[in-house]
Structure 1
Amino acid sequence: IFFRPTMSGSWLRLSVFLAVLLSAQALVHAKWDLCTPGSHGILNLTAIEFGAPNPSRGVPWTMTVKGHLNASKPITNGKTKTEVWWGWFKVQSKTGLYCKENKCPVYPGPVVQSAAANLPLITPPGTYQVKTTSWNEDGELISCVKVAFSL
């Protein structure tokens, strides 16, 4: 059987083009989600607001996290693991102190915290996903969040 260009072949190319275009448009604005939908840690996240739709190289990109800490005591210590993916490639993985990345103590009840990140000027264009998982000093999951954005 030989392939003959037909109108259906044109429709196939058009469909593929539209699918690529729509998937590229899906990340015009950064988006966030829980690592496991519906599964909160002791911090019930209600929103992550971005200072700009997507980050720019060399410019601080602010994020404001809002939620409610459901704990019997404040968070005064803990760990945070951050993994950065560029497409299918993991380009960074680091573990640090929770209170170095966040303002501590974090008291039970409503929580609003802001942070800023700078992308180096040499950061290549593409789609990125950042997964951040945090635990308190007792090993309880604080939160696990994925943020996706494009450059």
Structure 2
Amino acid sequence: MESQLHPKLNHLLCLFILTLSFAHAQATTFGYCADVNYDVKVSGVEITPDPVVRSRPVTFKISAATGEAIYGGKWVIIVAYFGFVVHKEIHDFCEEVSCPVATGSFVVAHTQKLPAFAPPGTYTVEMTLKNEKNKPLTCITFNLKIGWGFLVSNI
């Protein structure tokens, strides 16, 4: 009887690990901030882990493409909770990627640690890339879930 139990436990353990891996690196649904034909087209947003855990690092990975080289600019991140802006930060775009960004596809990744006091729930994130002349090259919005603890279901 013990030999029949091991294969089932191994199968359940593998399924559990696979589920955790999937829940911690998923593509995130996003939209553009306005009905504008932005110069930079975003093709994907990935948040790891998802949902985010307070006091632990979170990585935002944005896949995009540009029709013209990008020589500089800033990356503006605004976070809202129930419609109220709770966080805003501005980064030099060339510190996030290697400039100039050539024509074609590129990926920008940003990692930061969220504060321990951030209440669990769903936040709205707006990320805007502006060139060195302050012209918006793209602007996207997406939701970010902050969970209660380490092992939080994505359901």
TM over 0.5: yes
1:7-48 CA-to-partner distances (Å, cap 9, x unmatched) read xxxxxxxxxxxxxxxxxxxxxx853221125x3421111111
Q: Number of residues paired by the alignment?
A: 120
1:51-93 CA-to-partner distances (Å, cap 9, x unmatched) read 222211122212221121111xx32221233221111221123
Identity of aligned pairs, percent? 25
Q: Which AA in structure 1 matches 2:130? A: W
- Give the distance between the partners of 2:32 and 2:73, measured in 1 at CA: 19
Matched, 1:51 2:58: no
CA contact 2:58–2:112 (8 Å) conserved in 1:
yes
Tell me, what secondary structure is at the counterpart of 2:101?
A: coil
1:36 to 34, 37, 45: 34
Correspondences of 1:1-151 after superposition (within 5 Å): 30-36=28-34, 39-71=36-68, 74-151=69-146
Tell me, what secondary structure is at the counterpart of 2:119?
A: coil
Contiguous gaps of at least 5 residues in structure 2? 1-26, 147-155
CA contact 1:30–1:54 (8 Å) conserved in 2:
no
- Give the distance between the partners of 1:131 and 1:69, measured in 2 at CA: 19
Contiguous gaps of at least 5 residues in structure 1? 1-28
Q: Which AA in structure 2 matches 1:68? A: A
Specify the structure having the higher radius of gyration (Cα).
1
1:99: how far off?
A: 2.1
Normalised TM-score (structure 1): 0.67
CA contact 1:34–1:40 (8 Å) conserved in 2:
no
1:120: how far off?
A: 1.0
Greater strand share, 1 or 2? 2
Q: Root-mean-square deviation (CA), in Å?
A: 2.2
CA contact 2:67–2:104 (8 Å) conserved in 1:
yes
Q: Which AA in structure 1 matches 2:50? A: P
